[in-house]
Amino acid sequence: MSVDDLADYPWDAVAPFAATARAHPDGIVDLSIGSPVDPTPQIIADALRGATDAHAYPQTVGTVPLREAIVDWYARRRGVTGLTPDQVLPTIGSKELVALLPLLLGLGPGDVVVHPRAAYPTYEVSARLVGATPVAADDPEDWPEGTRLAWINSPGNPDGRVQDAAALRRARLRAAELGAVLAGDECYAELGWDAPWDTDPIPSVLDERVTGGDVTGVLSVYSLSKQSNLAGYRAAFLAGDAALVARLLTARKHLGLMVPAPVQAAMAVALGDDAHVAAQRESYRARRDVLLPAVEAAGFRIDGSEAGLYLWATRDEDAWESLGWLADRGILAGPGHFYGTFHPQHVRFSLTASDDRIRAAAARLRGES
């Protein structure tokens, strides 16, 4: 497969439903793509502005302050201690890393890339681009021989499910048994809602309870898009096995995959400030408290969704039928068909809309407008 073989971007199929929703007298409430709508925190924007004299090429490896900030953040926010700056690496957002990881690891025909059954489609695309075989499997015991890369997404997109340390440990042991890299996509880890994740930190694949202190073959991927409203900055990073990080660094140097210097400066500041993350988390919690009961009142069942930015819901009907019903009420959601073949009756509601638009959606779902 090559880039010429890629199917049309799936969100194009939603366009007719978006047109219907826009015709609502009070306009569309777009709860489909989870793009942040709140302002970038001032402290981060100021750091970006202060670093605009970026006349030299940035470092692919990342500045020392940024790498130290990533290490400190893992220890402070994720309970992952013992990392060193040579075990972390900034990336140009997390999607490019997900899309390129099989290539950067040298995977190809005959290799298997495992990903969750309800999954962000880039996992599958990244495997197919190098000729590897994508396999959707949640239970590590179902990961086949030949698996060379296994993706864990916790909290999940679209389903918001969290894997506890014991579940991650099972995945770690199975990946080691197969000789596979275990990659944890953890971009929603600061957004836990239901017990115990409303108070307990969501565990990382680098947690000592998972690795036993040995991170060989393990990578954690994180993005600042969600917790810090930096989607437009393309600000993310990975951490883990030093040998793997060095290998990825060499490949990224050759490919010119460098995070812009002003963005690196902004990332370092963002990672050191917990106050703006707490404020943003509270905004999403409040929106979820408004939207979730309204979705249920409209006859949807919420599955998973204990963390992250989405409600994963079904009325036990085809997702396109649900999308049509919602569009008639001026609401746009994402169909489960976009996240694999296992959930054709689910839709994904995003919490990334303004307070007033979330309230409007709730009123429409209850038949109040």
In a domain, 48, yes or no: no
Tokens of 195: 């017990």
Placement of tokens 């409040």 in the chain: 286
* Residues 231-237, mean pLDDT to the nearest whole number: 97
Tell whether 188 and 284 lie within a shared domain.
Answer: no
How many domains, in total, are found in the chain? 2
Q: Are residues 212 and 176 in the same domain?
A: yes
Q: Do residues 149 and 247 share a domain?
A: yes
| Average pLDDT for 177-203 | 97
Is the distance from CB of 152 to CB of 163 less than 8 angstroms? yes
Enter the tokens of residue 93: 């957002």
For residues 110 and 94, give the distance between their C-alpha atoms in angstroms, rounded to a whole number: 26
Q: With bands split at pLDDT 50, 70 and 90, how would you rate the model's confidence at 3?
A: low
d(Cα 136, Cα 128) in Å, to the nearest integer? Answer: 13
Do the domain assignments include residue 150? yes
| Domain boundary, last residue among 225, 241, 273 | 273
C-alpha–C-alpha distance, residues 8 and 294, integer Å:
33
Lowest mean pLDDT among 4-13, 200-209, 252-261, 287-296: 4-13
pLDDT tens track for 73-99 = 999 999 999 999 999 999 999 999 999
Is 44 part of any domain? no
Domain that holds residue 345: 3-39+276-365
The answer to whether residue 17 is domain-embedded is yes
| Residues 218 and 184: beta-carbon distance below 8 Å | yes
Domain edge (last residue) among 273, 303, 335: 273
Q: Which pLDDT does position 4 carry in this prediction?
A: 57
Q: Which of 242, 273, 304 is the last residue of a domain?
A: 273
Q: Are residues 155 and 72 in the same domain?
A: yes
Do 181 and 91 have their domain in common? Answer: yes
CATH of the domain at 192: 3.40.640.10
| pLDDT tens profile 103-128 | 999 999 999 999 999 998 999 999 99
Residues 118, 255 share a domain: yes
Query: How many of the other CB atoms lie within 10 Å of CB of 151?
Result: 25
Give yes or no: residues 12 and 69 share one domain.
no
Q: Do the beta carbons of residue 111 and residue 146 sit within 8 Å? A: yes
Q: How many CB atoms lie within 10 A of CB 62?
A: 24
Mean pLDDT, all residues of the chain: 96
pLDDT at 8: 59
Is residue 47 a part of any domain in this protein?
no
What is residue 13's predicted lDDT score, i.e. its pLDDT? 86
Computed over its alpha carbons, how large is the radius of gyration of the chain?
A: 20
Does 233 share its domain with 319? no
CB distance 148 to 111 below 8 Å: yes
Largest separation between any pair of C-alpha atoms in the chain: 58
The percentage of the chain sitting over the pLDDT mark of 90, rounded to a whole number, equals: 95
Phi, psi dihedral angles at 136 (to 5 degrees): -90, 115
Domain assignment present for 110: yes
Answer yes or no: do 221 and 304 share one domain: no
pTM summary value: 0.94
> Which CATH number do you get for residue 21?
3.90.1150.10
Mark whether 194 and 209 lie in a shared domain.
yes
- So what's the pLDDT on residue 199? 95
In angstroms, the first-to-last Cα distance of the chain is 48
Residue 129 covered by a domain: yes
Instruction: Give residue 211's pLDDT.
Output: 98
**In the predicted model, is pLDDT for residue 63 greater than 90?**
yes
Q: Which of 12-16, 62-66, 145-149, 200-204 has the lowest mean pLDDT?
A: 12-16
- The residues with which 149 forms a beta bridge, in sequence order, are 113, 181
Angstrom distance (rounded) from CA 198 to CA 355? 21
Do 130 and 103 lie in one domain? The reply is yes
pLDDT in tens, 239-279: 999 999 999 999 999 999 999 999 999 999 999 999 999 99
Say if residue 268 is in the same domain as residue 280: no
pLDDT reported for residue 190: 97
Distance from C-alpha of 79 to C-alpha of 206, rounded to nearest angstrom: 9
| DSSP character at residue 273 | -
Q: What values do phi and psi take at 169, rounded to 5? A: -65, -40
Q: With 80 as the cut, is the pLDDT of residue 9 above it? A: no
Q: How confident is the model at residue 5 (pLDDT cuts 50, 70, 90)?
A: low
**CA-to-CA distance for 237 and 89, rounded, in angstroms?**
5
Q: What share of the chain is helix, strand, coil (3-state, %, to 5)?
A: 45, 15, 40
